Structure 1
Amino acid sequence: MMESAYSPKILSVPPSTRSSNFIKLINILGLLLSVALIGIGIWLASRHGDCEKSLRAPVFVIAIFFLIVSILGLFGASSAFVPLLYTYLVLMLMILLILAGFIIFIFVVTAQGGGYPVAGQQFQEYTLDDYSPFIRHKLNNPTNWVHIQSCIESSNNCDELNNIQSAADYYNSDLNPIQSGCCRPPTECGYTIVSPSNFDTSTGSNSSNPDCLTYSNNASIKCYNCQSCKGGAAQEIKRDGRILGIIFVVIFFVLVLVYLVGCVAGRTASREHYGDV
């Protein structure tokens, strides 16, 4: 009896060297990319002075999921098990969709905000109201802010201001967002600078900004409960989010290329096992 064109070939026959090596190659690349993602997560988690770690969790989740999928694809290529290869491609498509959604989310929540310049000083100042609702909600959450505030207090951001020699040097310094927002009162308060970490608040302020009353020269108080401090933390999130978003865009397009090559290689392996369909 004539064998049907749709009947499978003997599964013990391995695919051609070309298609097998193709699949192995793209999954080795996938393993390297997943390791790179884990490295990005570690970088986010270990940044000195970076007290808001909200971006690290999704990075680690995506990286570990991608690592598992890459191992699955590599195993499927090595064992010449076509259904496993198709499972790999489906999971890869899921990763691409999740990654695309994460990229869109990052750029949406970091689209708003930024520092504003003040005449006579090199550094910018910040206020939380300028940032996206997601970031405002996260930083206004008391539980989150207690942790972030404790982290800022234990960092050396404010201590570094003591290295500035004079008021002129102070206003010409390139203070980071945390130093500008958390270690000093807003310029509009009108306080006279005594030293880079000490201001004369005895005369009071004519400004309606509540941060002016919140600020204290006490090293354990400073402006840690100020809206300007939350604005500085929001700017850190925005900066890290933008960097991460750009990195993920590059990784996304590399993964699209890997996925397309994987589809071709998987189709080739399927034909070699089951014949032309």
Structure 2
Amino acid sequence: MALSNNVIGAINFVAMLLSIPIIGAGIWLANEPDNSCVKLLQWPVIILGVLILVVALAGFVGGFWRIPWLLIFYLVAMLILIILLACLVVFIYMVTIRGSGHLEPSRSYLEYHLDDFSGFLRRRVRSPLKWDRIRNCLSSTDMCGELNQRYRMAQDFFNAHITPLQSGCCKPPTQCGYTFVNPTYWISPINNAADMDCLNWSNEQTQLCYGCDSCKAGLLANLKKEWRRADIILLITLVALICVYLTGCCAFRNAKTEDLFRKYKQGYV
């Protein structure tokens, strides 16, 4: 029985270690400028990781110190958390399955359209109140200023692989026909009524295209890329957690069988 309890404790210690990638993924998302402005996914991921850590710790204590009710709590709670983690993995995949950039003639960077993304993501940026907060957060970063320092010539900028956020927020959409002066300063064409974003563009460095739908789409494209990376980490951790959980269930069952067999021998020998 002691050996089985030690095995259960060791298995739960592994489950504790598996909470680290989940918490780490949440912290990584929180430190990304776009995710820190939206504040949508990072906290559910961090909270779920912390809960898995706490439950695994309970199982670890219950295994080594032979506390049956803690082990039962671990088995029930961890099953619930694994289901929640699986739902989160599927949810992230489903809301990021849509949305991709579009090539424009003579441009290496991509353009992004808001309607290409899932309804869930679009609703996060369409509310004027929400977008005002996000917009103020984005405009306080130096992501657009970096472009001015890096690209002086038009052709160098057109050949650049800038981020979706920079493509959508720091320059006017290519279809507007603006003339390049520098990455964040463009000369307006005679007719710029091709799209509302063309009218929303401003050479004022605190405005730029932060009020454009292209900026919202660029933000969602950035979120999609980062969420997909986090989802891969969560998926790998989920598979590992399921394996650890099933192994723990088998060890717990074997421990109970050994205990019953020992009691049987003591009663009849």
Match of 1:100 among 68, 72, 86: 86
Deviations 1:5-63 (A, max 9, x none): xxxxxxxxxx232x122111111111111122222211111124543331101101211
Deviations 1:223-268 (A, max 9, x none): 0010000000010111111111111110111011101110111112
Counterpart of 1:122, as a letter, is S
1:206, CA displacement in angstroms?
Answer: 4.6
Q: 1:140 to 1:48 in 2, by over 3 A?
A: closer
Comparing 124-133 with 192-201, greater Cα deviation is found at: 192-201
Deviations 1:188-245 (A, max 9, x none): 10111122221111624151x1000000100111000100000000101111111111
CA contact (8 A) 1:181 1:229 kept: yes
What are the residue-to-residue correspondences of 1:84-163 with 2, within 5 Å?
84-163=70-149
Q: Tell me the residue number matched to 1:45.
A: 30
Kindly indicate which of the two structures has a greater share of residues assigned to helix.
2
Give the secondary-structure state (helix, strand or coil) at the position aligned to 1:120. Answer: coil
Q: Tell me the residue number matched to 2:69.
A: 83
Between the aligned partners of 2:211 and 2:72, the Cα distance in structure 1 is 53
Q: Tell me the residue number matched to 1:3.
A: none
The percent of aligned pairs where both chains have the same amino acid is: 38
Deviations 1:74-97 (A, max 9, x none): 111022122321221111111111
Comparing 263-272 with 69-78, greater Cα deviation is found at: 263-272
CA contact (8 A) 1:49 1:155 kept: no
Structure with more contact order per residue of length (Cα contacts < 8 Å, sep ≥ 6)? 1
Q: Tell me the residue number matched to 2:13.
A: 28
Counterpart of 1:226, as a letter, is C
Between the aligned partners of 1:202 and 1:111, the Cα distance in structure 2 is 36
CA contact (8 A) 1:49 1:157 kept: no
Counterpart of 2:43, as a letter, is A
Which ranges in structure 2 are unaligned for 5 or more consecutive residues?
265-269
Counterpart of 1:82, as a letter, is P
Between the aligned partners of 1:201 and 1:246, the Cα distance in structure 2 is 43
Give the secondary-structure state (helix, strand or coil) at the position aligned to 1:194. Answer: strand
Comparing 180-189 with 33-42, greater Cα deviation is found at: 33-42
Counterpart of 1:161, as a letter, is L
Query: Is residue 2:183 matched to residue 1:199?
Result: no
CA contact (8 A) 1:52 1:233 kept: no
Q: Which aligned runs of 4 or more in structure 1 are off by greater than 6 angstroms?
A: none
What are the residue-to-residue correspondences of 1:9-28 with 2, within 5 Å?
15-17=1-3, 19-28=4-13
Between the aligned partners of 1:149 and 1:37, the Cα distance in structure 2 is 28
Q: Tell me the residue number matched to 2:245.
A: 259
Which ranges in structure 1 are unaligned for 5 or more consecutive residues?
1-14
Q: Tell me the residue number matched to 1:275.
A: 261
1:272, CA displacement in angstroms?
Answer: 3.0
Q: Tell me the residue number matched to 2:155.
A: 168
Tell me how many residue pairs correspond in the alignment. 261
Comparing 50-59 with 124-133, greater Cα deviation is found at: 50-59
Between the aligned partners of 1:211 and 1:219, the Cα distance in structure 2 is 16
Between the aligned partners of 2:154 and 2:74, the Cα distance in structure 1 is 61
